Amino acid sequence: MRRPIPTPPAGRTRLAARRRDELVAAAARLRLARPIFLGIPDGEVAANEDRLEVELEAILAESVPGAWCAAPWRGDGHPDHEAAGRAAAAASHDTPAVLVEYPTWMWHWALPDDPDVPWGRVRRIPLAVHDSLAKEAALQYFSSQPAAGRRPLLAPEVVARQLAVGEVVFV
């Protein structure tokens, strides 16, 4: 399984701020609520997993029945993604929210019928043309992904596949 390329400590703060700005801009483009940032540093989600769970549970307790708690898939292969997914799963358990997990790093390492992927839980959410166009436009805000001359974290073929098939989630 491929692991993320680590970012040197000196660049983490700048990269985190840049990615927050990118997410705010992308959410606005998609007409979503402004994201809530809990101040957990990149690479330290597992160390703050209990805190994340408590804060998410407080947010989700106020949600309407059936609202989605969309979180990274707990088996994604990235330590921060997996910790965030575990915290979201625990936090949503006793709330009106429904946990929906999305893969990100899985697209880099999984093969069809990979036994490490819960394919039976996969659901495809097709996107209308205007939603697909909005998603493609929102993805353009994430310019930090191919930062520092590295290959893009989400390669063009991965983005193209996502735009073609819609959203892929685990329920």
Give the number of other Cβ atoms within 10 Å of residue 55's Cβ.
17
Q: Does 162 reside within a domain?
A: yes
Q: Does 3 reside within a domain?
A: no
CB 5 within 8 A of CB 150: yes
Q: Does 137 reside within a domain?
A: yes
Q: Does 1 reside within a domain?
A: no
pTM of the entire predicted model: 0.81
- Cα–Cα distances in Å, from 138 out to 28, 81, 160? 9, 20, 14
Q: Does 129 reside within a domain?
A: yes
Higher per-residue pLDDT: 112 or 153: 112
Question: What is the spatial distance between Cα 166 and Cα 134, in angstroms, rounded to a whole number?
Answer: 12
* pLDDT beyond 80 at 158: no
Confidence band of 150 (pLDDT split at 50, 70, 90): low
Q: Does 4 reside within a domain?
A: no
The domain tally of the chain equals 1
Q: What is the CATH number of the domain that holds 49?
A: 3.40.50.10320
Q: Does 130 reside within a domain?
A: yes
114: domain range? 9-170
pLDDT in tens, 44-82: 999 999 999 999 999 999 999 999 999 999 999 999 999
Predicted confidence at residue 153, as pLDDT, reads 62
Predicted confidence at residue 29, as pLDDT, reads 93
Q: Does 20 reside within a domain?
A: yes
**Average pLDDT of the segment spanning 118-145:** 88
